[in-house]
Structure 1
Amino acid sequence: MKIFRIFIKDIKVFLGNIKFYVLIYLIMPLLLGVLDGMMYEKQLNPDRHIPIVNVALIDMDKSSYTAPLKDILTNDNMKEFIELSNVVDINGVKTKLEKGKIETAIVIPKGFSEKVQKGENINIKILKSPSSGIESQIILDIVNSYVQVLNNNANIFSIIDGSVNDKTSIGMLKKAVITRTITLNSENFINTVNMTKDKKLSGKQNFTISMLAFISLYLSVIGAQNMVREKEEGTFARLKSTTLSMRNLYVAKICFVFFITLVDITLYMGICKVIGISVGDSYVKLILISILHAFAITGISAFIMNLYKSQKNLNAIFTAVIMVFAMIGGSFYPLGNSGKIMQEIAKATPNYWIQNSYNKITLGGSIKELTVNIIVLLSIGILGIAFGAFFMRKKEGNNLFKTLNRGEKVEI
C-alpha cells in the first residue's frame, strides 16, 4: 500500500507537466521519424521503380528483321519503364537528346535485313542523351542482346552456305534459324518470385522505430531524476514518519518508470498505426517486445538513479551518454548502410536491441528469430534493477534502513 501511494504521487507530479512530455516523447520523435523517413525514402523504401525511359526508334530498314526488336521493347514487361516512339527525322531526335527530352535513340540503318541475309555482321546505333544514366544502359543491353542473336545467325549462315549446295534448302534453313532464334530472344523463360525474406523497412518505418528507441532512453532519466529529487529535497527524512523503507521507495520508483515507459510505447505505436506506418501484424509479439522494452528502460533507470547526488550531474552526464548510444546504435542514420565493424559495435548499445526487436516484428520475424533480442532486453532490465539495488544499499548503508524502520530522524 505504501508503494502504491508513492507511485500515485509520482504519477500526479508527472501529469503536472503532461503537455511537455507529450510534445517531447510523442510528437517530436514521431515528427522526426517521419521527416527522416522522407529524407531517406529513395535509399530505403523497398517499392522502387525504374523511371520511365523515353526511347526513339528510327527504323530505316523497316523489314521483318526489325519487327521482333520492336516487339521486345513494347511487350508487357517493358511497357512498365519504356515509352517507345517511332520517328523518322534523325536530326530532330539528336536535338531532343541534347535537350534531355528523350534519353535514348535506336537507329537501325538501311540495308539491315540484307546484311542479315548475307550473313554479315549487323550494326545498330545507340544514341544517348548527355544526362542519361542507368536507364539508357538498360536499353543498350537489350539491343546488344538482340544484335548478338543476329550476329550468331550470321555465323550459322556462313556454315550453311559452305555446307549446303541446294539454294532452296539454304533459304529454308536460314528462314527457320532466324524465326526460331528471334523467338527465343523474345520469349520469357524466367519466372520471378518475391521471397518473403527479402522484405525491407520503408524509410518511415525505419526512423519512427529508431526514434522511439532513442527517446525512450530519456524516460530512464526521468525516473532517475525522480529518485535524485527525493534526495535533494529531503523527502526521505519527511517520509520517516510512515516507517517507509528504502526498499519500498525503490520499488515504487522503478514501477513508475515501467508504467510511464509502457504507456509512451503504447501511445506511440497506436499513433503510428493511425497515420499508416505499419509496425507489424502480430499484436502478441508487439506486446511482448513492448513490455520487455519498458522493462529494459526500467533497468537502466534503476541502475543510474543511485549513481548521482544531483539532477544537474545526472542530466549532463547521461544526456551525453544517450547521444553516444544514438550515434553508435543507428538512431539517426540507416545502420545497414554502415560498415560491418560499426554494425558490430552498435550491438553494445541498448537502443540497437530495442529498434532491432521492433524491426524484426515489422518484417514478420518469428518468436525464434526474436530469442536473442528477448534475452538481451530481459538481461538489461534484470541486471539494471539488481545493480541499482546493490548501489543503493551500499551508498545509503545498512544503518539507514534500520534507522528509517525505527522512525528516527535522519539527515540526508
Structure 2
Amino acid sequence: MIGILIGKFRLLLRKPGALITTTLICMVFAFVTGKAGFDKLEIPVYSSMEANELKQYINQLNKGDVFHFKQSSENEVKERVSEGKVEAGVQLEKSKYTIYIARNSENIPLLEQYVKAFYKQTLKQKALEGISLESTDSNKKTVAEWPEMFSLKTSYFNNKEKPAYNQALQSLFGFTLFFVIYTIGFNVVDILNEKQMGVWDRIIISPTSKVAVYTANLLYCFLIGYVQVVFIFLVFRFGAGVDFQGAFGKTLIIIIPYLFSIVALTILLTGLVKTTGQFNALLPLIGVSFAMLGGAYWPLEIVSSELLLGISKVIPVTYGMELLKGAVISKSSLQELLYPIGILLLMGVVMMGIGIRLIERRHV
C-alpha cells in the first residue's frame, strides 16, 4: 500500500498541472465573487427623522458585518438606485422603512432580513422603555409578551436564530467545496483507467491485496483534496486577510467528513459509468448541480422553494457548507456540528459500499 501511495505522489510531481490549475481557478473565483465581502456593501439612506435620531439608527445598523449605511438626500438615493450605482437604498423612519432596489441580487433578501430584524428589535425595545418606573411587574410581563410587530421566520440545521452572513466566507467556502469535487473526481477515475488497462491485474498478482490497493488509491485521492483545501484556506487566511474568527484550526478538522463523502461520491459515479468519457461528462453535471442546490453559490437562507430545500438535504455540499459556516460564522462547537458530520459519514459509507460493489461487478 505504501508503495502504491509513493508511486501516485511521484506521478503527481511529474504532472502537477491539473491540480495547480484547479487550485488557481478556485482562488480566483473565490476572490472575485467574495471581493464585496472584504468591504461592506454601501446602502444610502434618507429619512425625515431628526438628525440625532437618524444618526443613532445608522450607527446601530452599521454594527453588522455586511452592509454600510450612509446618510444621503432623498433625491440622491433614488437617483443612485435608478442609475444602478448601488444595489439598494433605504428610507428610514421611526417605525417603518422602505427599500428601493435597482435589481434583484443575492444581497437584497439579506438586506430585507437585516433591516426587518433591526426594526423588530428596536420597536420592542422602545415599547419596553416606554413603561414608567412605577409600572408593576405584571404590566412589564404583559408588554414583554406582546406579539411581535414583524413576522420573521428563518431557520437552518443547528441554529434557530437568524443566520449570520459573510460574503467573503460564503464565496471562499462555496468555491473550495465545489472545485475539490473535480480534484478528487479526476483522481478517483484513475481506478477505472487502471482497471481497463490491466494495471490492477498485475498488482493483484503480487502479494498486495485488493483491499490495500483500494485503500491506497482512495487515501491518495483524499489527501490530494485535503492538501488543496488547506492550501486555499492558508492563502486566504494569511494572504487575503480573511477572518476565520478564531476557528481556522477547527475548519481543517471538520472538512474531513465532507472530503470523505466526496471520495465516496466519485467512487459511486465511477461504478455507474463504463468509460472515462462518460465520467468526464457526468462529473461536471453533478458538481455544478450539487453546488447550486447545496448552497455553494448562494446561501440557502435566501431560497424559498420547499422542493429545492428538500433536495438539498441529500447533497453533501449542503452539510459541508453547514459545517464551515457553523464553525466560523455561527461559532458552533464540535458537539453542535455532530449532526452534519454524522450525515456526511453515513452518506460516505453508503456510497462507498455501493460504488466499490458496482466497480467490482462491472470492471473486473
TM-score range, shorter chain: 0.5 to 0.7
In structure 2, the partner of 1:206 is: 170
3-state secondary structure, aligned to 1:279 = coil
Separation of aligned partners in 1, 2:271 and 2:249? 34
Report what 1:229 is aligned to: 193
1:54-69 superposed matches below 5 A? none
Deviation at 1:334, TM superposition (A): 3.1
Match of 2:26 in 1: 29
Gaps in structure 2 of 5+ consecutive residues? 60-71, 82-87, 98-125, 131-159
**Which residue of the partner structure matches residue 259 of structure 2?**
294
Equivalent residue, structure 2, for 1:148 = none
Structure 1 distance, partners of 2:28, 2:245, is 20
Amino acid at match of 2:31: V
Displacement, 1:269? 1.5
What is the CA–CA distance in structure 2 between the aligned matches of 1:383 and 1:189, rounded to whole Å?
A: 56
Aligned mates of 2:356, 2:289 — CA distance in 1: 26
8 Å CA contact 1:330, 1:352 repeated in 2: yes
Question: In structure 2, what is the Cα distance between the partners aligned to 1:322 and 1:332?
Answer: 12
Q: CA, structure 1 residues 270+231, in 2 after alignment: closer, same or farther (shift >3 Å)?
A: same
What is aligned with 1:15?
13
Residues 279 and 197 of structure 1, relative CA distance in 2, 3 Å threshold: farther
Aligned residue number for residue 299 of structure 2: 334
Aligned pairs (5 A) from 1:209-358? 209-239=173-203, 241-274=205-238, 275-283=240-248, 285-341=250-306, 342-358=308-324
CA–CA distance in structure 2, aligned partners of residues 4 and 338 of structure 1: 46
> Is the contact made by 1:303 and 1:385 (CA closer than 8 Å) also made in structure 2?
yes
Please give the alpha-carbon distance, in whole angstroms, between the structure 2 residues aligned to 1:12 and 1:243: 22
What is the TM-score normalised by the length of structure 1?
0.59
Q: 1:359 aligns with which of 320, 325, 338?
A: 325
Query: What is residue 6 of structure 1 aligned with on the other side?
Result: 4
Q: Distance in 2 between matches of 1:79 and 1:306?
A: 58
Q: Are residue 389 (structure 1) and residue 344 (structure 2) matched? A: no
Compared with structure 1, are the counterparts of its residues 7 and 309 closer, same or farther at alpha carbon in structure 2 (3 Å cutoff)? farther
Aligned-partner SS, 2:177: helix
When residues 9 and 139 of structure 1 are mapped into structure 2, their CA distance, relative to the original with a 3 A threshold, is: same
- Alpha-carbon distance in 2 for matches of 1:327, 1:211: 11
Alpha-carbon distance in structure 2 between the residues aligned to 1:300 and 1:289: 18
Q: Which amino acid is the alignment partner of residue 17 of structure 1?
A: K
The question of 1:51 aligning with 2:18 is answered no
Unpaired segments ≥5 residues, structure 1: 56-68, 82-100, 105-127, 143-185, 191-195, 398-412
RMSD in angstroms over aligned alpha carbons? 3.7
In structure 1, distance between residues paired with 2:78 and 2:302: 30
1:306 is paired with a residue whose SS is: helix
Other structure's SS at 1:74 match? helix
Listed one character per residue, the Cα deviations across residues 348-405 of structure 1 (whole Å, up to 9, x for unaligned) are 21111111211111120122321211101111222233223323443456xxxxxxxx
Cα distance, 1:344 vs. partner? 2.4
* Percent of paired sites with the same residue: 17
Q: Flag the 1:136–1:232 CA change in 2: closer, same or farther, 3 A.
A: closer
Q: Distance in 2 between matches of 1:351 and 1:242?
A: 39
Render the CA deviation track for 1:241-281: whole Å, top value 9, x for unaligned: 52443322211111111111111121122112111223342
Which letter maps to 1:31? V
One-letter code aligned to 1:262? Y
- Contact 1:213/1:354, CA 8 A, preserved across alignment: yes
The residue type equivalent to 2:324 in the other structure is Y
- State the shift of 1:50 in Å: 5.5
For residue 51 of structure 1, give the secondary structure of its aligned residue in structure 2.
strand
- Superposed CA offset, 1:159-216 (max 9, x none): xxxxxxxxxxxxxxxxxxxxxxxxxxx9x949xxxxx955622111111111111112
Note if contact 2:237-2:244 (Cα within 8 Å) is conserved in structure 1: yes
Q: Secondary structure at the match of 2:282?
A: helix
